[in-house]
């Protein structure tokens, strides 16, 4: 599932085609994705101007001129693809309609934004903009890891006394929003922390020290356009490239990249997810 860097990359890719522009036409080709789509969705979208595009955790929100926001979740295989818009010196022509094109937005200026989702684990909803933070998918989320509310004092306080593995704690969306399996593995490697170590054992200084590492990893991933492992693509259809710089994720059995370390990257399973780590470097 796309994590924060992938969703932020998609948001940035949609912005030139959508922000400030009118939705000239909307086509909704099925009644549901993971959950039922909102009633009269096409009618409610048509004629609305997109005031801004923002991201909350792994969700994109398009604030509309009529007072509603279009909430978008990519799910496992969802893609938001832009065609007919100029990107640098190139224009991506509109492709032929595809089987899994579930929602299509014709934008002012000629761009087309298509939500394609083969597995239909994605979701869309229309919510009042002023009440968007109270939406069931957003209401319990913790602070954004790149925002001011997420600092060392906050994280140290949230991890203090916890008898859950530090990896599980960082994946808890109520503690910090948007982190997923890939980037938590990379963060813990850079921090020298074993994924099974109890969160409450870190101490205040070490817990607080995770904050700049989390921001560093996420910022590097966003700069690289995210990580393309299976279905993820940027809004122009291009791949992300951060996977080429993974230090542990997916590198089971390969040498640790830490200079002087003779360890091999290992893999364990925690709560059904693979945790990649160096047993020598991470304690």
DSSP sequence for the chain: ---HHHHHHHHHHHHHHHTT-BEEEEEE-SSBSSSBPPTTHHHHHTT-BEEEEEEETTEEEEEETTSEEEEEE-TTT-EEEEESSEETTEE-PPPPP-TTEEEEEEETTS-EEEEE-SS---EEEEEEGGGGGGSTTTTT----TTSTT--HHHHHHHHTT--SBHHHHHH-TTTSSS--HHHHHHHHHHHT--TTSBGGGS-HHHHHTHHHHHHHHHHHHHHTT---SSS---TTSPPP-GGGG-SSTT-TTSBP-STT---B-EEEEETTEEEEE-TTT--
Residue with tokens 């850079």: 190
The token duo for 187 is 């963060």
What CA–CA distance (Å, rounded) separates 51 from 64?
A: 5
Q: Which residues are catalytic?
A: 2-3, 58, 273
């Amino acid at each position: 599932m796309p994590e924060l860097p992938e969703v932020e990359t998609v948001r940035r890719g949609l912005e030139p085609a959508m922000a400030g522009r009118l939705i000239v036409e909307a086509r909704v080709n099925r009644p549901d994705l993971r959950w039922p789509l909102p009633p009269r969705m096409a009618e409610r979208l048509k004629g609305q101007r997109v005031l801004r595009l923002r991201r909350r955790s792994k969700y994109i929100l398009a604030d509309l001129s009529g007072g509603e926001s279009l909430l978008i979740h990519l799910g496992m295989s969802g893609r938001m693809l832009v065609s007919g818009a100029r990107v640098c010196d190139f224009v991506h022509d509109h492709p032929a309609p595809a089987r899994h094109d579930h929602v299509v937005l014709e934008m002012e200026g000629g761009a087309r934004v298509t939500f394609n989702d083969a597995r239909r684990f994605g979701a869309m909803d229309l919510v009042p903009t002023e009440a968007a933070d109270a939406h069931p998918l957003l209401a319990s989320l913790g602070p954004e890891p790149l925002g001011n509310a997420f600092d060392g004092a906050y994280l140290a306080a949230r991890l203090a006394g916890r008898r859950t593995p530090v990896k599980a704690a960082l994946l808890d969306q109520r503690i910090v929003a948007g982190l997923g399996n890939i980037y938590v593995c990379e963060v813990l490697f850079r921090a020298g922390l074993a994924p099974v170590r109890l969160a409450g054992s870190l101490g205040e200084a070490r817990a607080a020290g995770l904050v700049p590492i989390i921001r560093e990893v996420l910022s590097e991933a966003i700069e690289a356009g995210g990580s393309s492992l299976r279905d993820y693509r940027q809004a122009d259809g291009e791949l992300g490239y951060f996977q080429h710089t993974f230090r542990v994720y997916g590198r089971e059995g390969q040498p640790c990249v830490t200079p002087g370390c003779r360890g091999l990257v290992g893999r364990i399973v925690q709560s059904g997810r693979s945790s990649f780590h160096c047993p020598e470097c991470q304690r």
